[in-house]
Structure formats: structure tokens, C-alpha cells
Amino acid sequence: MEFGKKAKPVSPEEMAAVHHALESPIRRNMIILMNQGVLSVPEIAPAGGKMLDYHLHRLELAGLIELEGEKIVLTEAGVAYGGLVKKEKELGGADKI
């Protein structure tokens, strides 16, 4: 399996997993930070708080990230959705999604 690559969601189930992953303000913030270069578990830990493992798992299930030990690899979908979430936040709307 090639890390860092995953096609955009193509099924309703995959789309639902992305929606669930990004419905949390914590995970939206985490994906923004990851798109800005915070790509290790220790670096992202403050943003994930006590439920860090859960949040990382949700992002991974949605195909937005892949974990290689302590390293976080954004997939193509993670980069794309992270950019959209960042733009929405800059426009003042990400917390209302």
C-alpha cells in the first residue's frame, strides 16, 4: 500500500465517514494543523486532548490520514478536505458546520 495516497470518497459510506470525521471541531482543527505541517502524534497531541487516539482513529477511518508509528501522513483526501476546512474557518463558518 502506498502511503499518502487515497482517492476521494466514491461511495455514500466513505462520504459518511468523512462527514463524521469532520463534524468535530477538534478534528477539524487537527486536520488544519496537519495541513500546516504538524505531522507527528506528539505534536498534534495538545489539539487532540485526552481523546487523541479516538480522534486520530476517526480521521484514519475516513481516509484522511495514515499513521506510521508516531508519524502522521495526510492522504490526498486529507490535504483536500483540510484545505476546505481551513478556508471555511477563515471565512468564519467552520465552527458552524
Q: How many domains does the chain have?
A: 1
> pTM surpassing 0.85?
no
Rg, the chain, Cα only? 12
Residue 21 lies in a domain: yes
The per-residue pLDDT for 49 is 94
54 in a domain, yes or no?
A: yes
Residue 11, classed as helix, strand or coil, is coil
Residue 76 lies in a domain: yes
CATH value at residue 77: 1.10.10.10
Residue 51 has pLDDT above 70, yes or no: yes
Q: Which domain holds residue 19?
A: 12-90
Tens of pLDDT, residues 14-33: 888 898 999 999 999 999 99
Q: Collapsing DSSP states into helix, strand and coil, what is residue 10?
A: coil
Q: Answer yes or no: is 96 within a domain.
A: no
Residue 97 pLDDT exceeds 60: no
pLDDT digits (tens, 9 = 90+) for 55-96: 999 999 999 999 999 999 999 999 989 888 888 888 887 555
Q: Give the model's pLDDT for residue 94.
A: 56
Q: What is the Cα 95 distance to its own chain's centre?
A: 15
Does 1 reside within a domain? no
Question: In whole angstroms, what is the distance from residue 42 CA to residue 84 CA?
Answer: 25
Residue 97 belongs to a domain: no
Tell me if 3 is assigned to some domain. Answer: no
C-alpha cell at 51: 481523546
Q: Is 44 domain-assigned?
A: yes
How far apart are alpha carbons 10 and 47 in whole angstroms? Answer: 29
